[in-house]
Amino acid sequence: MRLRTFGIGAAALLAGSTVAFTSGVQHAAAACPNGLPAQVYAGAGQSQIGGTGATVVGVCVDTGTGPARGGWLEAGTGNGTQAYAIAQGNANNSVAPNGADKGYAGISNYETGTTGWGPQDAPGCASQPGSGSNSGGSFGVKALCNTTTGVAAIDSLNLFSHGLPLPIACGNVSSKTWGSTTRDGCWVP
């Protein structure tokens, strides 16, 4: 699978911003590395959000103040045919009251640990925790997977309890970082 990224350089050209290429493996944190307001990065081992892929390209933006601090937009490939394209919010964002702006969303079948399934954070829902990055593969609605509602009991294909097999990844409750989570997939309230 090939991912093509268009306009990464344009996204980093903020008025008055300094743009720098980074080196070394770094993970999602409260700010862009080296304290710069914007950074563009590319190459093997360059992930800022926890990927370990052979190819990575991305951009980081950090306003430094206010409720909308920024975040990362990154795409990468590796592990044979695995790939990801993830938007990861800054841990200091405080615009959305439920923390969604601190979380992440995108597409992924890229795994750096073990694959799990289920929402991981919904009482009454069956789950198998994973580790490492969120490799997608489990999309569902938390209210429908709850075994106390009886819906899961009549679901012979496990679509309500295990989720639809889609390469969608998101999170803001069980983990705010795509590269280090027990969740695989995306589960909405």
What ranges make up the beta strands (E) of 55-175? 55-62, 70-78, 82-89, 104-108, 139-141, 168-171
CA distance linking residue 159 with residue 138, whole number of Å? 9
Q: Which residue has the tokens 């990468």?
A: 76
Of 120, 100, 141, nearest in space to 184 by CA: 120
Least confident of 70-74, 131-135, 146-150, 159-163: 146-150
Predicted local distance difference test score (pLDDT) of residue 51: 82
Decide if pLDDT at 148 tops 80: no
36-94 pLDDT, tens digit each = 889 898 988 888 888 887 799 999 998 888 888 899 999 999 888 999 999 998 888 88
173 pLDDT tier (thresholds 50, 70, 90): low
| CB 61 within 8 Å of CB 84 | no
The SS3 call for residue 82 is strand
80-107 pLDDT, tens digit each = 899 999 999 888 888 887 777 888 999 9
CA distance linking residue 84 with residue 179, whole number of Å? 11
2 pLDDT tier (thresholds 50, 70, 90): very low
Decide if pLDDT at 163 tops 70: no
28 pLDDT tier (thresholds 50, 70, 90): very low
